[in-house]
Amino acid sequence: MTVRRGKKLSISIQEHMAIDVCPGPIRPIRQISAYFPRLSPTSPTPVSPNPTVSPPPSLSPGSVASGMGGSHLLSPLLAQGRPGGGGSLSLTSSVDTSVEINSDDSDDCTALGTLEFELKYEQSSNKLHCTVIRAKGLKPMDFNGLADPYVKLHLLPGACKANKLKTRTIRNSLNPVWNETLTYVGITEEDMHRKTLRLSVCDEDKLTHNELIGESRVPLKRVKPDQTKHFHTCLEHPPPLPSPTAMGEALRGISCYLREWENEQLHSLEERGRLLLTLQFLPPVSLEDKAVEGGGGEGRRNGGLCVGVKRCAHLAAMDVNGFSDPYVKIYLKPDIEKKSKHKTAVMKRTLNPEFNEEFFYEISLSELANKTLEVTVWDYDLGRSNDFIGGVCLSSKSQGDALRHWTDCLKNKGQRVERWHILTNELPRTLSHD
């Protein structure tokens, strides 16, 4: 039997069988009039014993649905991609889970769940506050159909144990509520422009390794200073590691870029924490000033450089207990007489030590312009060699924050200049071990 429609649709049906365009198994439809109202033939049509089935002309799900007068035959995926009566199936119609969601009704956009949090950057104190509020609809990870979720933070690039922060674990929940604020200190304006915050939701497992449920990444440049920004994002799978060697011929055009990216990541320095330093060049004291101040220190009468070691933050853990016993050493190089070494006290079992110690070098401004200040942080170990945590060099040949700090100190005599510095795992070339 052949059913014909006079406008746009012509479908051949063999042996009283029709095929539903919905996803699922093929099933017989006995009452054709239910799908084609007002299409019943007015007169009986002779059917040959061997009917010739003609192929339907360019039949698409969208056109069939519009011709049948009902959108209930379309799958939800197709329904989202068709604003009107017609449409075609497209691979790009799937939901992008990397975008923010603005309502609680959007939790079903990903099978991994959603994460709600807030970010605020305090420019005056160089602090970044991340308030992890809650997660909803997390993917079950345990045999009981639940999970033991927690959230850990990393700053990218340079993710390591030194800049990892972690919330507490919520037991047996797929909709955990933390309301916990984690704070990064020593975050500069440059960090806010080039860093990305990664929030990873993980399932804690005491017997095996912890498992990643999903993650969300936020470029810090989206956060304005001294303003709280609210985020409600869908969790995603971590992006695959780019590998140009495994790409096909169609991706050869971008392989050069990815190869350069891999080389940059390979040679990039690992962050080992942050160091807060103050520099102040004290000019020579005149005779009148000496009488007013009551003499002062003998070494400071001729002027020199005052170096203040304030504190460190997010240091790398060097001991098996997850902590370090840090102290700071400073040198003013070149040091021919081997007298420029200074050392702070050792702080036990901490990754965020506060030293608040000052050291003075008697030197003229012209001589200081040709010197290099080397500041290194070490982990003290009793009975064996101390472990190098990280360091920074300040001189007229430095770059970035180190150069700006050094230049500001030389230009602003008598003023105390304070700045945070990133510690890297590169040992200064002129460093002498002791």
Using alpha carbons, select from 421, 273, 414 the residue that is nearest to residue 353.
Answer: 273
Q: State the pLDDT at residue 258.
A: 58
The beta-carbon contacts of 161-164 under 8 Å, at least 24 apart in sequence, are: 161/316, 161/317, 162/271, 162/272, 162/273, 162/314, 162/315, 162/316, 162/317, 162/351, 163/271, 163/273, 163/314
Eight-state DSSP code of residue 138:
P
Tokens of 413: 């005599």
> Between residues 52 and 134, which one has the greater pLDDT?
134
- Using H for helix, E for strand and C for coil, what is the string for 240-301? CCCCHHHCCHHHHHHHHHHHHHHHHHHHCCCEEEEEEEEEEEECCCCHHHHHHHCCCCCCCC
Reply yes or no on whether the pLDDT at 117 is more than 90: yes
Scan for tokens 């002129």, then name that residue: 430
Strands (E), 89-219: 114-122, 127-136, 149-156, 165-166, 177-185, 196-203, 211-219
pLDDT of 322-336, one tens digit each? Answer: 889 999 999 999 888
Q: Rounded distance, CA 274 to CA 271, Å?
A: 8
**Considering only 8-12, 126-130, 173-177, 289-293, which range has the smallest mean pLDDT?**
8-12
Is beta strand 229-234 parallel, antiparallel or unpaired with respect to 114-122? antiparallel
Q: Provide the residue type at 60 as one letter.
A: S
Percent of the chain with pLDDT over 70: 62
Contact 113, 137 (CB under 8 A): yes
Mean residue pLDDT of the chain comes to 75
Using alpha carbons, select from 293, 273, 406, 296 the residue that is nearest to residue 362.
Answer: 296
Q: Rounded distance, CA 99 to CA 234, Å?
A: 7
Q: Rounded distance, CA 35 to CA 120, Å?
A: 58
Tokens of 201: 């939701």
Strand partners, 306: 280, 360
| Nearest-5° Cα angle at 178, 174 to 182 | 135
In degrees to the nearest 10, what's the CA dihedral of 185, 189, 192, 195?
A: -80
Contact 378, 428 (CB under 8 A): no
> Between residues 433 and 180, which one has the greater pLDDT?
180
Q: Which residues contact 178 (CB under 8 A, 6 or more apart)?
A: 132, 133, 134, 151, 167, 168, 170
Could you tell me how far CA 328 lies from the centroid of its own chain? Answer: 30
Eight-state DSSP code of residue 366:
H
Is beta strand 354-362 parallel, antiparallel or unpaired with respect to 304-313? antiparallel
Eight-state DSSP code of residue 316:
P
Eight-state DSSP code of residue 220:
G
pLDDT of 95-108, one tens digit each? Answer: 333 445 544 444 44
Q: Provide the residue type at 97 as one letter.
A: T
> Between residues 285 and 295, which one has the greater pLDDT?
285
DSSP letter for each residue of 25-40: -------HHHHSTT-S
pLDDT of 203-260, one tens digit each? Answer: 999 888 999 999 999 999 999 999 999 999 999 998 876 555 555 555 555 555 555 5
Maximum distance among all Cα pairs of the chain, rounded to whole angstroms: 125
Radius of gyration of the chain (CA): 34
**Considering only 11-20, 107-116, 292-301, 320-329, which range has the smallest mean pLDDT?**
11-20
pLDDT of 59-109, one tens digit each? Answer: 444 443 444 444 333 333 333 444 444 433 333 333 333 445 544 444 445
Residue 387's Cβ-count burial label (10 Å; 0-12, 13-18, 19+) is middle
Q: State the pLDDT at residue 255.
A: 57
> Between residues 37 and 371, which one has the greater pLDDT?
371
Q: Rounded distance, CA 318 to CA 141, Å?
A: 32
Helix (H, G, I), strand (E, B) or coil at 209: coil
